[in-house]
Amino acid sequence: MTDALSLTFSALADPTRRAILARLSEGEATVGQLAEPFDMTFAAVSKHLRVLEGAGLVTRGRNAQFRPARLDARPLAAASDWIGGYAQFWDDSLGALDQYLNALQQLGAPTGGAAAPLEKENDHD
């Protein structure tokens, strides 16, 4: 059994599925409407929708003969929370780099640009 976060990231790994989610963020759509911008069959779009449904990112309704798809963003919140947990790591890492660069500047050391060419020793020929 796969956990919900793994299912979310697996579903998001495909660019077509991400494009489908982006379209659904504008409102519900049928398979035909979702297939319009892609060079693929309705069956292929339906397969992508099944993956998104399996991850809990899409729900399908019933409206007469149509089964419009809707975005369910709740699993995206869990993915965002997981990624956001690394924000402190990046803040700390970038803060340490900033302190290091400031220390170099105070010492008068170059901190960017092209490196000065090294002089060759004993090059008197």
13-26: pLDDT as tens digits: 999 999 999 999 99
In this prediction, residue 79 carries a pLDDT of 94
Give the Cα separation of 98 and 90 in Å (integer): 12
Task: Indicate the domain borders of the chain.
Answer: 4-78
Task: Please state which CATH number belongs to domain 4-78.
Answer: 1.10.10.10
Q: Can you list the residues of the chain whose pLDDT is less than 70? A: 1, 63-65, 109-125
Give the Cα separation of 27 and 46 in Å (integer): 17
Give the Cα separation of 52 and 39 in Å (integer): 19
Give the Cα separation of 30 and 45 in Å (integer): 10
In this prediction, residue 70 carries a pLDDT of 94
In this prediction, residue 122 carries a pLDDT of 54
In this prediction, residue 28 carries a pLDDT of 92
What are the structure tokens assigned to 86, written together?
């690394």
